[in-house]
Amino acid sequence: MLQMIRPTPAGEDLAETTAAKALNVIEASKRLAAYTAVDQHVKPEHRSKELIVSAGLSLGDVDQYPTIDVTLDGADEVDSNLNCIKGGGACHLREKVLAEAAITFILVADYRKNVEYLGTNFEPGVPVEVVPFAYAKVLRDLKTLGSPNANLRMAVKKAGPVVTDNGNFVIDAPFSRQHMLNPFETLTKIKMLTGVVEVGLFCHMAKAAYFGNKRPQEFPDNCVMKDGSITIKRNDGTVEELTSRNSQ
């Protein structure tokens, strides 16, 4: 059973306590979704890392092994057709390569990211990785495409723009509901812009999405947290609700 007990120290700032409590709920719900997704999709024969290492063999990367059995990854938001926004952490190029290499691609997220259409809760917009030389031109293009507030993502702990693992910049491009109701069309328009390396819209890729849910009634003021249910959405349109894996 997953249980988190967080006593409230006397005198602790109320806002801080509430924020920490909300974070615990979100992290616990996502962890439960991840456990369930691994249980259902990562079979014993896929758990080969120890076998490889103990046999003295080398672990490979996707450039050596372009077909992967299962890729499980998080997302910034997932719509009702399992399209998703990724790239909040500026890793969406590599993540999309791993997702495309996978026979089965599975998403794992907390309840806040389970939405009807993309951009409902995730406000920064569509992450767009661009070669640095082209960023100003791509920014201009994105505004013309319908994202007037597109902006270059700036680093928080250093001066200047965020630089990806691939040495590129990231633009965050918020689009209207109308654009996000057809994310594949929006994806293809952005991808066609010269200078764009990859777009953080993953369309028609996921086989299923696992969302960890909270149960507010189980999170009273003393902050004793029990695990909640999991919502599983599949690409065949089915939706399944699993009650707590360890319900008492």
CB of 197 within 8 A of CB of 154?
no
198 is catalytic: no
Q: Which of residues 74-133 bind ligand R5P (CB under 6 A)?
A: 74-76, 86-92, 95
Q: Which of residues 141-180 bind ligand R5P (CB under 6 A)?
A: none
Least distance to ligand R5P, CB of residue 231, Å:
16
Among 95, 100, 116, 129, the active-site one is 95
Q: State CA 64 to chain mean position distance.
A: 25
Taking the alpha carbons at both ends of the chain, their separation in whole angstroms is: 9
Task: Determine the interface stretch with ligand R5P among 70-78, 141-149, 151-159, 189-197 (rule: CB under 6 A).
Answer: 70-78
Other beta carbons within 10 Å of 3 = 10
Least distance to ligand R5P, CB of residue 76, Å:
4
Least distance to ligand R5P, CB of residue 58, Å:
27
Bridge partners for 114 per DSSP: 78
Q: Which of residues 23-52 bind ligand R5P (CB under 6 A)?
A: 30
Q: Which is nearer to ligand R5P, 41 or 86 (CB)?
A: 86
**Integer-rounded Cα radius of gyration of the chain:** 20
Tell which residue, 111, 189, 104, has the closest CA to residue 146.
189
Element (H, E) at 220: none
Q: Which is nearer to ligand R5P, 88 or 183 (CB)?
A: 88
Q: Which is nearer to ligand R5P, 94 or 143 (CB)?
A: 94
Least distance to ligand R5P, CB of residue 179, Å:
20
Quote the CA–CA distance of 43 and 23 in Å, as a whole number. 30
Q: Which is nearer to ligand R5P, 143 or 163 (CB)?
A: 163
Q: Which is nearer to ligand R5P, 30 or 153 (CB)?
A: 30
Quote the CA–CA distance of 124 and 109 in Å, as a whole number. 18
| x/- letters, 174..213, toward ligand R5P (CB under 6 A) | ----------------------------------------
Least distance to ligand R5P, CB of residue 114, Å:
13
Tell which residue, 104, 127, 106, 82, has the closest CA to residue 235.
82
Task: Determine the interface stretch with ligand R5P among 42-50, 52-60, 69-77, 173-181 (rule: CB under 6 A).
Answer: 69-77
Please, what's the b/e burial string for 130-162 (b: 16 or more CB within 10 A of its CB; e: otherwise)?
A: beeebbeebbebbeebebeebebbeeeeeeebb
Tell which residue, 161, 113, 169, 120, has the closest CA to residue 142.
169
Quote the CA–CA distance of 47 and 50 in Å, as a whole number. 8
**Would you name the residues annotated as active-site residues?**
95
The residues of the shown chain that bind ligand R5P, judged by CB under 6 A, are: 30, 74-76, 86-92, 95
